Amino acid sequence: MAVEGARPDEVDAVLDRWVQVRPDVDPASIGVFGRIARLDLMRRAAVRRLHERHGITSAAFDLLSQLRRAGPPHRRTTGELAEATLLTSAATTLRIDRLETDGLVRRVRSDDDRRVVYAELTEAGLARIDAVYEEHIALEDRLLAGLDAAERAQLADLLRALTHSVSGVAR
């Protein structure tokens, strides 16, 4: 059921067509997941353009963000980064290599155990992620401009509940 006053979108057309060809199956879930998928594609495209203006990829942004959120000295091991970004250690190593070449991260051996190597933000990396982060949040705020603060909070709560529901089924 659409919110009163809401304008129809492409997903409504898809739902209408399914109701016509398969009236025996309720396609309401498409109303949720179809919109989530479309929103994600639009958001990713906007974010990609922002990141490209700053000379980084979205993958680099993710890794730099992980290091920034780690707090001073802004370092994590490859394994920690791989786990946090849901990538393999090999893929994470490749990202670290690129960021190291760009001067945004450096590798630092642990003083306690020389076998442990951290990826650490450089001053340039810290400056870059801080600048991109501010613009990233401003962009996402513009993307959410159609919702007031209460609606944003409600949507976040609903998506959190949906995430828990989906993660239980998807495993």
Q: What residue segments make up the domains of the chain, in order of their start?
A: 34-143
Instruction: Classify strands 117-121 and 75-77 as parallel, antiparallel or unpaired.
Output: antiparallel
pLDDT digits (tens, 9 = 90+) for 127-167: 999 999 999 999 999 999 999 999 999 999 999 999 999 98
Q: For 64, list phi and psi in degrees, rounded to 5.
A: -60, -35
- Model pLDDT, residue 86: 85
Quote the CA–CA distance of 114 and 125 in Å, as a whole number: 24
- Model pLDDT, residue 168: 82
Quote the CA–CA distance of 167 and 5 in Å, as a whole number: 32
- Model pLDDT, residue 145: 95
Strand-pairing partners, residue 14, are none
Its pTM stands at 0.81
| Fold (CATH) for 34-143 | Arc Repressor Mutant, subunit A (1.10.10)
CB within 8 A of 143, min separation 6: which ones? 42, 43, 46
State yes or no: pLDDT of 43 exceeds 70: yes
State yes or no: pLDDT of 1 exceeds 60: no
What angle separates helix 58-69 from helix 28-53, to the nearest 10 degrees? Answer: 80
pLDDT digits (tens, 9 = 90+) for 73-131: 999 999 999 999 888 989 999 999 999 999 999 999 988 888 888 999 999 999 999 99
